[in-house]
Copies of this chain bind each other. A is one copy, B any other.
Amino acid sequence: MPADWSAPQDDVRTRILREATRMFAARGFNGTSLSDIAGAVGIRKPSLLYHFPSKDELRKSVLELMLARWNELLPRLLRAATSAKGQFDAVVHETVAFFVEDPDRARLLVREALNRPGEMGALVSKYVRPWAAVVCDYIRKGQEQGRVYADVDPEAYVAQIINLMISSIATYECIGDVAPPGVAATEMRARHIRELCRVAKSSLFLPDAAREEEPAGATKGS
């Protein structure tokens, strides 16, 4: 092999993980065979099983990789979460962007939540609860200051919004069919994301008018 194949193992492993992610997300774990994945990578099934001892280990690795990526994003998110209202958009937007960047991440999470609720619950506890706790604190502080609706249930709110972000991106291919046709799918998707952010924000913060005379903030639409 050429010299630039200095780490062929990692390269193949990465490609396997990438294809497995795609196919698990699109067709589900049970709907994807090892031969399918191997074929997409360009190798044979036993070669794949050389890199991953079993199909289930591959699944765990896929999930792990995705959550590792998510973890990389966390610090930035936590920093934003502790800031003022203008930064609330940043948290939502950052999170949405993470899943929009690769919707397979969202699909994978939803599938896993349906297939293995217990396992997924443990991952949620580990990966999202710390961040959620920070946001909850921020919400409670906002409630004390009168910026946030008093009847918000912080934990439940955060759970719902996370769920909303993930699942609406996971199913955005057919969610758009709620609206009458005639709108380009790509534009409809943008409207959905914008509305998602609006819902998240306006169900948390009191309207500007009710708080003070502040120029209406532009919506998050990027």
Contacts and interface: CB of A to CB of B under 8 A. Distances in A.
Interface string A145-189: 000010111011111111110011011011111111100000010
Contacts of A210: 207, 209-210
A155 B105 CA distance: 25
Contacts of A54: none
Interface in A51-89: none
B177 A125 contact: yes
B122 A160 contact: no
A75 to B, nearest CB: 19
Interface of A: 27-28, 30-31, 107, 110-111, 113-115, 117-118, 120-122, 124-125, 128-129, 132-133, 149, 151-153, 155-164, 167-168, 170-171, 173-181, 188, 191-192, 194-196, 198-200, 202-203, 206-207, 209-210, 213-214, 219
23 contacts: A28-B114, A28-B115, A113-B173, A114-B171, A121-B177, A124-B175, A124-B178, A125-B181, A133-B180, A155-B178, A155-B191, A156-B188, A156-B196, A157-B199, A158-B178, A158-B179, A159-B168, A159-B175, A159-B179, A160-B168, A161-B199, A164-B167, A199-B199
